[in-house]
Amino acid sequence: MTVPGSAHRSVKQRIADGLRAGILDGSLPAGGRLPTEAELMERHQVARNTVRDALGLLVHEGLIEARRPLGYFVRDRHRMDYRPQSDLRPRPDDLVQDVFLTTDFGIAGREPSQTIEVSIVAPPPVVAERLRLDAGALVVVRRRVRFLDGEPFYGNDSYFPMDVAEQTAIMSPADIARGANQELARHGRVQVRAVDEFFVRMPTPGEVRRLELSPGTPVAVHVITGFDADNRPLRCVLSVLPGDRHVIVYDRPGLSENDGGPSG
Amino acid sequence: MTVPGSAHRSVKQRIADGLRAGILDGSLPAGGRLPTEAELMERHQVARNTVRDALGLLVHEGLIEARRPLGYFVRDRHRMDYRPQSDLRPRPDDLVQDVFLTTDFGIAGREPSQTIEVSIVAPPPVVAERLRLDAGALVVVRRRVRFLDGEPFYGNDSYFPMDVAEQTAIMSPADIARGANQELARHGRVQVRAVDEFFVRMPTPGEVRRLELSPGTPVAVHVITGFDADNRPLRCVLSVLPGDRHVIVYDRPGLSENDGGPSG
DNA sequence: GAGTGGTCTAGACCACGTA
DNA sequence: ACGTGGTCTAGACCACTCG
């Protein structure tokens, strides 16, 4: 068709707009089923590929997902909180509860589990940079996936320079009894400072498989670099958090003038 | 075709795999041009739509973008840091510089600018919750977009309950001289605590327009809720950070046992 | 088995910025 | 003007899984 005066929205855009509006205003509730492709073809009198293009927009916006052969469904989000600062101070759970009454923070009743796999590898560039490693240097990595009721919750890969990890329990593919920090401290490597970074991006195909991500699900990558008193990097932890399952929470005293903002 | 023994990868997947590998190993460098659709059709002996499906995968992974009529290009990322805690303590720029030698944190030489627009609206649900507003209650919102060299850098919307904002400079569509916190404090509303939350999701079409986002670019939504000494919410700030332009950095003392982790 | 979405083909015309 | 990607059509066959 290509109606000239149709507000510069293509057919697939207008089909997507209608469905999106229904999702946002609640007339298509979370978990609800959308019309089938055939129904949308009939309703809008267009070819199947046009309908699929429209649905593809919503899939990549993270609003819907296809469950073949049941149809398309409005995605439902049950996000859990992730607290990077949890070791710094006690969690003011009472206050948070009070503040966010309607948010689902529940973890109760869900069975946690994890897989751990220890290996010696060439580090990815992001890790090599932060650990200040020479090209070709190897690292010990503890690759972990944490699950809740069998559903992957996040990936957590800890990288250690070889000289830091050797002769410690870090090399063992089991949970570290008192945590990696105390294990390192027992060997004279005390971490006194950390830098946290968050990147936001679309997942790699490997992450999609490992964390069972639906299309349209971005991830936050939380990179923690720990340093000793001499400012030498001791470890680098790379957590991959699916965006549809987490909210990252910091609680802090202070004024917090609007946003922090960019700096250079 | 549907070759049975082809490792369960579809044709479009295999075309995408080849291009992705080239991007990741550097043989297709950032900023470089990909083959045209016609060239890929010829090379792989497939229909145009199949080629487009393959390229669509990479577009939605955020790896490439189309610049019509020039072709597809490998996306280049120049991410700037965003420091939510910048008002809490001086930035240890010296240390950070030392740690991340190769990351581009430069803001120098780029001309900042912003647009501000003040209005009274019904708050979005996420804000109404955090401000503990009754249904139907209105808020004052200062909607801001910050630019660097004319390129949208992030959106920053500050919401205030009506009773907090009225009679203050917040209602004026100009920059607030000493910042909103001091302006509120001048009126007896002192913020003593804040909770930070980060959500990761795909942008809405409105955000895509406002921030000029390419397809495959997720956003981090930084929600700050500020409280006074009586634990009453004073303000809620919603920053929308394009994932291709930012890295969020926290610097903190302490042990930071691996990751914090989920809590309930 | 029936019906869903997933993949692929082979065409057509359009919109747009570069040159 | 040209070549690029963007949109749309009208078909075909396949893979999957629910009932």
Calculate the angstrom distance between C1' of D15 and CA of B9: 13
pLDDT in tens, A233-245: 999 999 999 999 8
Minimum distance, in Å, between the CA of residue B174 and any CA atom of chain A: 15
pLDDT at residue A130 greater than cutoff 80: yes
Chain A residues near residue B258 by CB distance under 8 angstroms = 156, 158, 179-181, 224, 237
Which pLDDT score is estimated for A134? 94
Pairing of strands B112-121, B262-263: unpaired
Please give residues of chain A from 35 to 74 whose alpha-adjacent beta carbon (CB) lies under 7 Å from any atom of strand C: 36-38, 48-49, 52, 66, 68-72
Nearest-CB residue to A255 (from B49, B102, B181): B181
Residue B259 to residue A156, Cβ atoms within 8 A: yes
Calculate the angstrom distance between C1' of D16 and CA of A69: 7
**On chain C, which bases lie within 7 A of the protein's CB atoms?**
2-12, 14-18
Dihedral of the CA atoms B58, B64, B65, B70 (nearest 10)? -120
Pairing of strands B262-263, B246-253: unpaired
Q: Could you tell me which of A244, A238, A241, A213 has the C-alpha nearest to residue A226?
A: A238
Which pLDDT score is estimated for A114? 87
Residue A129 to residue B197, Cβ atoms within 8 A: no
d(CA A15, CA A26): 17
Chain A residues near residue B222 by CB distance under 8 angstroms = 259
pLDDT in tens, A172-207: 877 777 778 788 888 888 888 888 888 999 999 999
Least confident of A88-102, A144-158, B158-172: A88-102
**Which of the two residues, B76 and A128, has the higher pLDDT score?**
A128
Dihedral of the CA atoms B245, B218, B117, A22 (nearest 10)? 170
CB A249 within 8 A of CB A79: no
Q: What are phi and psi of B125, to 5 degrees?
A: -55, -40
**Which of the two residues, A246 and B127, has the higher pLDDT score?**
B127
d(CA B183, CA B175): 12
CB A131 within 8 A of CB A161: yes
d(CA A215, CA A66): 10
Close Cβ partners of A219 (under 8 Å, ≥ 6 residues apart): A200, A201, A202, A203, A207, A211, A213, A240, A241, A242, A243, B200
Report the pLDDT averaged over residues A121-125: 93
Which pLDDT score is estimated for B109? 60
Report the pLDDT averaged over residues B239-248: 90
d(CA B182, CA B186): 6
Nearest-CB residue to A194 (from B20, B102, B254): B254
**Which of the two residues, A92 and B184, has the higher pLDDT score?**
B184
Calculate the angstrom distance between C1' of C1 and CA of B2: 24
Cis amide prior to B152 (ω within 30 degrees):
no
Please give residues of chain A from 72 to 101 whose alpha-adjacent beta carbon (CB) lies under 7 Å from any atom of strand C: 72
Chain B residues near residue A153 by CB distance under 8 angstroms = 262
- Whether A33 sits with its Cβ under 7 A from any strand C atom: the answer reads no
Which pLDDT score is estimated for B111? 75
pLDDT at residue B262 greater than cutoff 70: no
As a whole-number percent, the residues of chain B with pLDDT over 90 amount to 51
The token pair that represents A134 in the structure block: 């020479």
Confidence of residue A46 (pLDDT cuts 50, 70, 90): very high
Residue A196 to residue B252, Cβ atoms within 8 A: yes
Nearest-CB residue to A224 (from B153, B244, B256): B256
Which pLDDT score is estimated for B8? 72
What residue of A is the nearest CA neighbor of B91? A263
Residue B264 to residue A91, Cβ atoms within 8 A: no
Report the pLDDT averaged over residues B215-233: 91
Report the pLDDT averaged over residues A50-69: 95
pLDDT at residue A31 greater than cutoff 90: yes
Which pLDDT score is estimated for B124? 92
Confidence of residue A70 (pLDDT cuts 50, 70, 90): very high
Report the pLDDT averaged over residues B158-182: 82
pLDDT at residue A103 greater than cutoff 90: no
Which pLDDT score is estimated for A7? 57
Residue with minimal CA–C1' distance to D8 is: A50
What residue of B is the nearest CA neighbor of A91? B263
d(CA B212, CA B156): 15
Starting at the earlier edge strand, list the strands of the sheet with B191-201.
Answer: B112-121, B139-148, B151-161, B233-242, B219-228, B191-201, A246-253, A80-82, B262-263
pLDDT at residue B15 greater than cutoff 60: yes
Chain A residues near residue B252 by CB distance under 8 angstroms = 85, 88, 193-196
Confidence of residue A95 (pLDDT cuts 50, 70, 90): very low
Minimum distance, in Å, between the CA of residue A220 and any CA atom of chain B: 7
Minimum distance, in Å, between the CA of residue A178 and any CA atom of chain B: 10
Which pLDDT score is estimated for A221? 93
Report the pLDDT averaged over residues B36-61: 96
Q: Could you tell me which of A229, A226, A233 has the C-alpha nearest to residue A161?
A: A233
Which pLDDT score is estimated for B44? 95
The token pair that represents B29 in the structure block: 């460098």
pLDDT at residue A89 greater than cutoff 50: no
pLDDT at residue B58 greater than cutoff 60: yes
Report the pLDDT averaged over residues A28-55: 95
Task: Provide the mean pLDDT of chain B.
Answer: 82
What residue of A is the nearest CA neighbor of B207? A61
pTM of the model: 0.86
Calculate the angstrom distance between C1' of D16 and CA of A105: 35
Minimum distance, in Å, between the CA of residue B191 and any CA atom of chain A: 6
Which pLDDT score is estimated for A168? 86
Which pLDDT score is estimated for B263? 43
Nearest-CB residue to B262 (from A81, A180, A203): A81
